[in-house]
């Protein structure tokens, strides 16, 4: 699976801010994380509106995390950067009528979406940083996270 550019850049920016732990300029974030600066500024506005980052104006201004990295999930970032288009897609799908089989397929897609959202919500920026630190074992780390989330969903 490949993330949309906005999600990829948003996660990069959030991880950068998490590692730095301080206010960072858009220029530094853009250069260090290979994000077009104008696009970063647009994304930062959406992330700020979602309460994920804070913007500080002025000569020594920039962006910093509004929450601890352990409180920001991949799903939070995805939703902050994609909520309008996701809502429009849901409305279009709800308006379409279909046969019984189509409705069953929609139900299956709904279950896939719920599972995807639950897993993405379980991955925090802190856990992604932990995964990066365990480079040699990152697949095992993510596999364990998926297993933990599966067990949690089964018990819910």
Question: Phi-psi bin for 58: left (phi > 0), alpha (psi -120 to 50), beta?
Answer: left
pLDDT value at position 92? 63
The more confidently predicted of residues 75 and 115 is: 75
Please report which helix (H) or strand (E) contains residue 63, including its range: strand 62-65
CA nearest to 79, candidates 115, 47, 42: 47
How many CA atoms, within 13 angstroms, populate the side-chain half-sphere of residue 138?
Answer: 11
In this predicted structure, the answer to whether residue 49 has a pLDDT above a threshold of 70 is: yes
Q: Per-residue pLDDT for 86 more than 60? A: no
Q: Please tell me the distance from the alpha carbon of residue 23 to that of residue 17, in angstroms, as a whole number.
A: 8
Whole-number percent of the chain with pLDDT over 90: 47
Residue 2 has a CB neighbour count (10 Å cut-off) of: 6
For the segment 89-104, the average pLDDT, to the nearest whole number, is: 69
> What's residue 152's pLDDT?
76
Compute the radius of gyration of the chain from its Cα atoms: 18
**Local confidence band at 130 (pLDDT 50, 70, 90 cut-offs):** confident
Domains of the chain by start residue, with CATH: 5-65 (1.10.10.10), 69-155 (no CATH)
Q: What is the spatial distance between Cα 94 and Cα 73, in angstroms, rounded to a whole number?
A: 27
């Amino acid at each position: 699976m490949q993330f949309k550019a906005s999600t990829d850049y948003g996660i990069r920016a959030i991880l950068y801010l998490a590692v730095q732990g301080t206010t960072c300029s858009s220029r530094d974030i853009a250069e260090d994380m290979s994000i077009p600066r104008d696009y970063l500024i647009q994304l930062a506005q959406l992330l700020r509106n979602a309460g994920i980052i804070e913007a500080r104006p002025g000569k020594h201004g920039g962006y910093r995390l509004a929450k601890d990295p352990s409180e920001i999930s991949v799903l939070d970032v995805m939703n902050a950067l994609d909520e309008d288009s996701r809502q429009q897609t849901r409305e279009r799908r709800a308006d379409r009528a279909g046969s019984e089989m189509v409705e069953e397929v929609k139900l299956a897609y709904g279950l896939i979406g719920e599972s995807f959202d639950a897993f993405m919500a379980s991955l925090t920026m802190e856990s992604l940083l932990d995964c990066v630190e365990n480079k040699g074992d990152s697949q095992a780390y993510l596999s364990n996270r998926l297993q933990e989330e599966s067990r949690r969903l089964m018990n819910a």
